């Protein structure tokens, strides 16, 4: 069996967290409260429904099911207005180098994201046809740290989970990769992503040499 690589989207390939924050914050403000960028960190890798649940707890608010769904739709509409302006230059530094290397070597790569907007974003940044498989929030029923999203990606790449390498910026995602018996590479802070097999602050710090070693392992 061969190595395969799985990339999270938000926080790994692009920084959409800033747009999620703006859109969620507007929702909170419209409901009469506010939350901080630090609190926003807790929403990384978390599904849309779970994000709204957390935010409502912070604001000490409860919504009827109908209002909950309406607010989620409004947030997404607002979020997509930012996504709509995205272009290729939003791809985070260092990412193209790794993607190009893996493509040249014909190594299977997949996207494994919790976002229901993943395909829209990939089209905006011209990476829609780059991945051999795209697994997103519309394909899964269980949110990270459940490994479902990555296990489906492995299956679609015809790779054994233990041969998969996962790039993730959220702790929930790192846990999902670990539970799935995959090699986890955290992108971000070591303190936050302490459970990852390897941690890099960002893709500019990942040498091709390191990727080559993973291929030989
Ligand atoms: P959407 P990832 C996740 O994407 C984000 O990190 C998280 O903040 C967001 O709530 C979630 O997608 C759902 O996104 O509202 O677009 O369906 O990091 O798993 O690529
Ligand atoms: Mg992420």
The residue with tokens 């992108």 is: 187
What pLDDT, on a 0 to 100 scale, did the predictor assign at position 1?
A: 56
Whether pTM > 0.90 for this model: the answer is yes
Is 171 within 8 Å of 187 (Cβ atoms)?
no
pLDDT recorded at residue 217: 82
Q: Indicate if 10 belongs to the active site.
A: yes
Query: Is residue 8 annotated as part of the catalytic site, yes or no?
Result: yes
Compute the C-alpha angle 43/45/47, nearest 5°.
75
Cβ neighbours for 181, distance < 8 A, ≥ 6 positions apart: 161, 162
Instruction: Kindly give the distance from the C-alpha atom of residue 45 to the centroid of ligand 2, in angstroms, as a whole number.
Output: 5
First and final C-alpha spacing in the chain:
12
Q: What sign for the dihedral angle of Cα 144, 105, 127, 159?
A: negative
Structure-token pair, residue 131 = 């991945």
Q: What percent of the chain has pLDDT over 90?
A: 95
Atom of ligand 1 nearest to the CA of 168: 18
Distance (angstroms) between ligand 1 centre and the Cα of 55 equals 15
ipTM of the modeled complex = 0.93
What distance in Å separates the CA atoms of residue 113 and residue 139, rounded to the nearest whole number? 10
């Amino acid at each position: 069996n061969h190595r395969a690589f799985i990339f999270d989207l938000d926080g790994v390939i692009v920084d959409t967290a800033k747009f999620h924050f703006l859109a969620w914050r507007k929702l909170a403000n419209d409901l009469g409260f506010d939350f901080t960028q630090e609190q926003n960190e807790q929403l990384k890798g978390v599904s849309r429904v779970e994000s709204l649940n957390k935010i409502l707890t912070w604001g000490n608010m409860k919504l009827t099911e109908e209002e909950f769904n309406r607010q989620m739709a409004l947030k997404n509409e607002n979020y997509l207005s930012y996504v709509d302006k995205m272009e290729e230059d939003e791809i985070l530094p260092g990412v193209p180098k790794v993607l190009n290397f893996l493509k040249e070597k014909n190594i299977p790569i997949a996207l494994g994201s919790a976002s229901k907007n993943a395909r829209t974003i990939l089209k905006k940044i011209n990476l829609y046809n780059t991945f051999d498989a795209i697994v997103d929030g519309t394909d899964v029923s269980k949110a990270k740290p459940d490994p479902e999203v990555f296990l489906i990606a492995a299956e679609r790449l015809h790779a054994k989970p233990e041969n998969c390498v996962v790039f993730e910026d959220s702790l929930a995602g790192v846990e999902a990769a670990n539970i799935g018996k995959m090699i986890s590479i955290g992108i971000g802070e070591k303190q936050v992503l302490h459970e990852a097999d390897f941690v890099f602050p960002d893709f500019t710090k990942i040498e091709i040499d390191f990727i080559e070693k993973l291929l030989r392992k």
